[in-house]
């Protein structure tokens, strides 16, 4: 179990270190890491044989990986001419 926790920690730091190269920004990745760590800590408290710290590490790695690998959550629309755009800061931004 300690090897899995060590692997999860290394994976979390790797994904967090490579965050600028992904499509998401660092704040979104850190938010996903925090949510994953919280969920993992709860799971570690409930699942026998898994400590709270190990659960938090595994959850943090999973949350960071899922957030970093998910594409931008932009909703695209089409104008009258069929051009795709999304809304950023209240304005249309075309692809």
The pLDDT averaged over each successive group of 10 residues in the chain (95 residues) is 63 56 66 88 87 88 80 78 89 87
Q: What's the distance, Cα to Cα, between the start and end of the chain in Å? A: 46
* Residue pair 35/65 in contact by the 8 Å Cβ criterion: no
Task: Report yes or no on whether pTM surpasses 0.85.
Answer: no
Q: Determine the pLDDT at residue 74.
A: 74
The full DSSP string for 7-62 is HHHHHHHHHHHTGGGSSS-HHHHHHHHHHHHHHHHHHHHHSTT--HHHHHHHHHHH
Quote the pLDDT of residue 22: 47
d(CA 41, CA 80): 49
Mapping DSSP to helix (H, G, I), strand (E, B) and coil, where does residue 88 land?
Answer: strand
- Burial (CB < 10 A; 0-12, 13-18, 19+), residue 61, is buried
pLDDT at 90: 86
């Amino acid at each position: 179990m300690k090897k899995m926790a060590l692997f999860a920690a290394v994976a979390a730091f790797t994904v967090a270190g490579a965050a600028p190269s992904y499509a998401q920004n660092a704040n979104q990745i850190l938010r996903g890491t925090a949510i994953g760590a919280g969920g993992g800590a709860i799971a570690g408290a409930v699942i026998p044989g898994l400590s709270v710290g190990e659960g938090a590490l595994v959850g943090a790695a999973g949350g960071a990986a899922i957030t970093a690998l998910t594409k931008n959550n932009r909703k695209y629309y089409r104008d009258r001419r069929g051009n795709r755009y999304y809304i950023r800061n209240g304005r249309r931004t075309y692809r």
